[in-house]
């Protein structure tokens, strides 16, 4: 049996709480596994609880750069205590959008590198946020293992994409790819063994999605779009993505 994978979704976000029973049933029916990423310490606890309810939820815990002043020591302890139960560490990374001064930048870097060190210690994949900071992420990651690292929602240029491929990163594409020519071009130039798909829900999407929050049920549409861009059948694309997702997760 072939499984679909959503490589990056915030299933433990409050937006989904009221529909969670339906979402979990939907995942079982559609055969979708989800890398459920977290924003901070409290949200990571919620992710761990959600994963206990259904083994299709693959828990990633961590501190998003927006939450860089969150409880880092508590997070490090949470990873230590749950390393046997988590699938990965994320969402972690850098983002100048959430910095006001040099101290904020230093804090983001400190949190990012601390959590990368935990990921290496326990041999866990990482889901990386790199908006407006790809070159800085590349610089930091030269000191860490990139073979199970995902640059989620890849938004770089062709040169940066080649750099990511040279360093062995996975990159993921989401619902935006269905209507964005630049994302379609990037996908066509990505090493096929490094492609993943995601929704990044509950982010909202325009055009054909009418500003609806990302749903895990969008994944088949993203896969279909990717198959057309790469000249593959839907089944071929699904099989490739399952292999890539298992490789990223170290399964």
For the chain, what is the domain count? 1
Q: Residue 105: its pLDDT value, please?
A: 98
Amino acid 9: pLDDT = 98
CATH of the domain at 181: 3.20.20.140
Kindly report the three-state secondary structure assignment for every residue of the chain. CCCEEEEEECCCCHHHHHHHHHHHHHHHHHCEEEEECCCCHHHHHHHHHHHHHCCCEEEEECCCHHHCCCCHHHHHHHHHHHCCCCCEEEEEECCHHHCCCHHHHHHHHHHHHHHHHHHHHCCCCEEEECCCCHHHHHHHHCCCCCCCEEECCCCCCHHHHHHHHHHCCEEEECHHHHCCHHHHHHHHCCCHHHEEECCCCCCEECHHHCCEECCHHHHHHHHHHHHHHHCCCHHHHHHHHHHHHHHHHCC
* pLDDT recorded at residue 137: 98
Task: Round the average pLDDT of the chain to a whole number and report it.
Answer: 97
Tens of pLDDT along 49-84? 999 999 999 999 999 999 999 999 999 999 999 999
pLDDT at 1: 81
pLDDT of res. 212 = 87
Which residues span the domain enclosing 167? Answer: 4-249
pLDDT lower than 70: segments of the chain: none
């Amino acid at each position: 049996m072939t499984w679909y994978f959503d490589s990056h979704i915030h299933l433990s976000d409050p937006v989904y709480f009221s529909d969670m029973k339906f979402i979990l049933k939907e995942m079982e029916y559609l055969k979708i596994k989800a890398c459920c990423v977290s924003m901070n310490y409290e949200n990571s606890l919620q992710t761990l609880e959600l994963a206990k309810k259904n083994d299709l939820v693959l828990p990633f815990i961590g501190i998003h750069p927006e939450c860089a002043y969150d409880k880092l020591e508590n997070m490090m302890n949470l990873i230590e205590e749950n390393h046997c139960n988590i699938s990965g560490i994320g969402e972690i990374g850098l983002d100048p959008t959430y910095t006001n001064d040099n101290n904020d930048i230093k804090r983001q870097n400190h949190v990012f590198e601390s959590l990368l060190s935990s990921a290496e210690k326990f041999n866990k994949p990482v889901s990386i946020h790199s908006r407006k900071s790809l070159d800085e992420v590349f610089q930091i990651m030269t000191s860490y293992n990139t073979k199970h690292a995902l640059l989620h929602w890849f938004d770089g240029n062709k040169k940066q994409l080649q750099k990511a491929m040279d360093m062995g990163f996975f990159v993921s594409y989401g619902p935006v790819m269905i209507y964005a020519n630049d994302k379609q071009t990037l996908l066509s130039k990505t090493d096929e063994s490094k492609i993943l798909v995601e929704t990044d829900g509950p982010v909202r999407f325009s055009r054909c999605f009418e500003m609806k929050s990302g749903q895990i049920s969008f994944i088949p549409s993203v896969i279909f779009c990717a198959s057309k861009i790469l000249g593959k059948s839907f089944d071929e694309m699904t099989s490739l993505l399952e292999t890539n997702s298992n490789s990223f997760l170290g399964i």
